[in-house]
Structure 1
Amino acid sequence: MSITTDTSVEAGSTAWETALDDAPVALSAAGDLVAVAGAEGSVLIADAATGTEVGGLELPGGALSVALSRDAQHLAVTGPTGYALWSRSRVSPLIVETGAWSSTAAWADNGRVAVASGRRALVLDPAGETQWATEPAASTVTDLAWMRNGRRLAVAAYGAVRAHERHTDKPVVTYPYVGSHLALAVAPTGRWICSGNQDASIHIWRTRDGSELTMSGYREKVSRLAFDDTGYWLAADGAPDVTVWNFSGKGPAGTAPRSLQCHDTVTALAWRPGGAGHLASGGHDGTVALWQATAGRPQARMRPSRTLPAASAVAALAWSGPHLLIAAHRDGRVRAHRLPSRNTL
């Protein structure tokens, strides 16, 4: 891993820039840290304010995702052949080569981490000890999300999203949908579960009664979904435009989304923390766009409030608090862009 950091970048939107000697595929930010994972398995852990390296690891077989715990004390990295756990209190990372495809990981506020491992989800403590595991799904687990403050785990695999209570291998609720789920988003309110699908659709379940809704007609598969902090707005890819759906009131049934026009191909989405409705999106063209994404009316076709300096294709975006947006680019560059006000872009 070759890291270079420059904190003397010209004053303006760029706070610092770091280079990873790997092609970034995933990014996570929490507390005072940011972590970026590369396709070949290199993981850089850096100080979010300066970009200075504070740790790192190599995951054999490559990386697919990276996730910092909310308190920034722990990190999970997943990849095609297993997963790794890093901790500030541990001398060296714990690397587990299971031979099973590990698509993603998600931390709960109680310090437990759920890790996809083949057709199962494993729930581990920060030391890496397995607390419990789900029964095998019909196919490989593609995404995970915690619900009810870490008391319930939603697991997406072909044919259904299954919800497991703590220490239960069998699901307590099953949300069926015949298709391949690529992305999972649970509203912070807990009212909605959404899946982005291989068949170019978004499927929605209301958790209270299991009622369903499908939003179809996307030109491409939907592989990125993100709720804002209020749980009222869902951003999705699946087309050259980013679509933003309104989940307030009775939800999006019978409504049309806002369309955000900037990229030929959307490669990243990240809501700014807080309820201002600010969204960052990244594209294959290297553009990072900032949006007042909840403004305007349904069916509005919107242009970005601002675009940031272009580089190579955007691999991932993450906010480090409301004032620092981190962008990882395919050529290895990781840039931090400073936005001084939480109310403006």
Structure 2
Amino acid sequence: MSALASTSSAAGTAWEIAVDDAPVALSAAGDLIAVAGAEGSVVIADAATGTEVGGLELPGGALSVALSRDAQHLAATGPTGYALWSRSGGPTLTVETGSWSSVAAWADNSRVAVASGRRALVLNLQGEMLWATEPAASTVTDLAWIRDGRRLAVAAYGAVRAHERHTEKPVVTYPYVGSHLALAVAPTGRWICSGNQDASIHIWRTRDASELTMSGYREKVSRLAFDDTGYWLAADGAADVTVWDFSGKGPAGTAPRSLRCHETVTALAWRPGGAGHLASGGHDGTVALWQATAGRPQARLRPVRTLDGDSAVAALAWSGPDLLATAYRDGRVRAHRLPSRNSL
């Protein structure tokens, strides 16, 4: 995939690039932004200018992309395998396993977990396998590190399983009869949440494995995101984005804030920091910016600001607190520079 960069005079637009693929995922870290396309191309661009600095091709297509925290390495996953890229200029490692690889997540700057069929593989920077989980009952749909890489949570049909380093068998199993589509772990490690095919969110408190189900969503819940404080969880599954309060004893017995803008939600991303700013994207091409923690439970909030596009939003990613990248289905990736972290 190649990219053509340009600047724009539109209010707040820092740059825009066009990629020769349909974007499916974005990742931002340090001074880089990476965009993955459905046909397997990945473009890596300078976050300040949009200038292409690297890329790779993943045979069989791409599903996700993840930059390491120091922006020196990248993992891309797809229907038939995964790839690892290094900024230092070493060869890109492409591994065609023939297994569905839905997602990758970095524990730190030296270890990455990759979903591969019914297992999660933990790899070093050279792509060597450090350890792997035992096979789950079905394909791994999502994974996330707990407490900066101390444990790995792996979601597959019927349960979320937590593994210590180098432990094939889980040390804790969080059962739930259903298909997990998305996994979110609070930065504090206190809560594990799954968005599910049966239009629900299931929650476990890691301290004692107590659990709670929040049902009644109109559609399956396939996007979940905690903010940096771990006190707020945003979810799709309805025309409204719901934002749940996890402070204190958690959301049991409470009602969420409702954010109404899109008929169909396609992307969610919290602004770094604790200001409660959320970006959401819709099938209509609109990006909405929210003071998502304002008001009281059951409040119906309106966006502080909207950014309009001509194509469905495919993915959102914040590059630091001031730059929001949006990938559109038509192949455009646009970066908006926003006011200080205290305002939108």
Partner of 2:157: 158
**Pairs within 5 Å for 1:78-97:** 78-97=77-96
Residue 13 of structure 1 contacts residue 308 of structure 1 at CA under 8 Å; is this kept in 2?
no
Q: Secondary structure at the match of 2:244?
A: strand
Matched, 1:117 2:116: yes
3-state secondary structure, aligned to 1:185:
strand
Query: Residue 335 of structure 1: SS of its match in structure 2?
Result: strand
1:197-247 residue CA offsets vs partner (Å, 9 max, x unmatched):
000000000000000000000000000000000000000000011000000
CA contact (8 A) 1:110 1:150 kept: no
Mapped partners of 1:139, 1:133: distance in 2: 15
Q: Which residue of 2 aligns with 1:240?
A: 239
Whole-angstrom distance in 2 between the partners of 1:148 and 1:339: 30
Residue correspondences, number: 344
**Distance between the aligned counterparts of 1:56 and 1:311, measured in 2?**
26
What residue in structure 2 maps to residue 4 of structure 1?
4
- The one-letter code of the counterpart of 1:255 is T
Q: Distance in 1 between matches of 2:41 and 2:189?
A: 34
The residue that corresponds to 1:46 in the other structure is: 45
CA contact (8 A) 2:69 2:109 kept: no
**Secondary structure, counterpart of 2:17 in structure 1:** strand
Contact in 2 for aligned 1:229/1:273 (Cα 8 Å): yes
The alpha-carbon deviation at position 310 of structure 1 amounts to 2.0
Q: Provide the residue aligned with 2:335 in structure 1.
A: 336
State the percentage of identical aligned residues.
87
* Cross-structure match for 1:291: 290
Question: Taking structure 1 as reference, are residues 2 and 90 closer, same or farther at Cα in structure 2, changes over 3 Å only?
Answer: closer
C-alpha deviation, 1:110, in angstroms: 4.9
Q: How far has the Cα of 1:149 moved from its partner?
A: 1.8
- With 55-64 and 145-154 compared, the bigger mean Cα shift is at 145-154
TM-score by length of 1: 0.99
Please give the alpha-carbon distance, in whole angstroms, between the structure 2 residues aligned to 1:12 and 1:301: 28
Structure 1 residue aligned with 2:31? 32
Aligned equivalents of 1:122, 1:266: Cα separation in 2: 31
Report the Cα distance in structure 1 between the residues aligned to 2:11 and 2:192, rounded to whole angstroms. 39
CA distance in 2 between counterparts of 1:243 and 1:150 reads: 28
Q: Counterpart in 1 of 2:254?
A: 255
1:91 Cα deviation (Å)? 2.8
Instruction: Provide Cα deviations, 1:247-271, integer angstroms capped at 9, x if missing partner.
Output: 0000000000000000000000000
> How much has 1:311 moved relative to structure 2?
2.4
Alignment partners' CA distance in 2, 1:91 and 1:52: 20
Gaps of 5+ in 2: none
Aligned to 2:138: 139
Matched, 1:58 2:54: no
- Correspondence list, 1:157-196, <5 A: 157-196=156-195
In 2, distance between residues paired with 1:151 and 1:279?
28
Aligned to 1:18: 17
CA RMSD of aligned residues (A): 0.7
- Counterpart CA distance in 2 for 1:170 and 1:277 is 37
Query: Does 2:114 match 1:104?
Result: no
- Check if 1:264 corresponds to 2:269: no
Looking at structure 1, the residues matched to 10 and 201 of structure 2 have their Cα atoms a distance apart, in angstroms, of 41
Q: Which consecutive aligned stretches of 4+ in structure 1 deviate over 3 angstroms post-superposition?
A: none
What secondary structure, in the 3-state scheme, does the structure 1 residue paired with 2:24 have?
Answer: strand
**Structure 2 length-normalised TM:** 0.99
User: Is 1:278 the equivalent of 2:249?
Assistant: no
Return the alpha-carbon distance in structure 2 between the equivalents of residues 111 and 255 of structure 1.
40
Amino acid at match of 2:42: V
Q: How do 1:307-326 residues align onto structure 2 when only pairs under 5 Å count? A: 307-326=306-325
Does the CA contact (< 8 Å) of 2:80 and 2:97 recur in 1? yes
The AA in structure 1 aligned to 2:201 is: I
Asked if 2 retains the 8 angstrom alpha-carbon contact of 1:25 and 1:64, the reply is: yes
Shift of residue 3, structure 1, vs aligned partner: 1.5
Cα drift, residue 111 of structure 1: 1.7
Distance 1:330 1:133 in 2: 34
Instruction: Kindly indicate whether the alpha-carbon contact (under 8 Å) linking 1:134 and 1:170 is maintained by their aligned counterparts in 2.
Output: yes
Per-residue deviation, 1:109: 1.7
Aligned equivalents of 1:272 and 1:82: distance in 2? 31
Q: How many angstroms apart in 2 are the aligned matches of 1:133 and 1:248?
A: 34
- 1:149 maps to which residue? 148
Partner letter of residue 60 of structure 2? G
Q: Structure 2 CA distance, aligned partners of 1:86 and 1:3?
A: 18
Question: Is the Cα contact below 8 Å between 2:41 and 2:57 reproduced in 1?
Answer: yes
Tell me the amino acid that sits aligned with residue 333 of structure 1: R
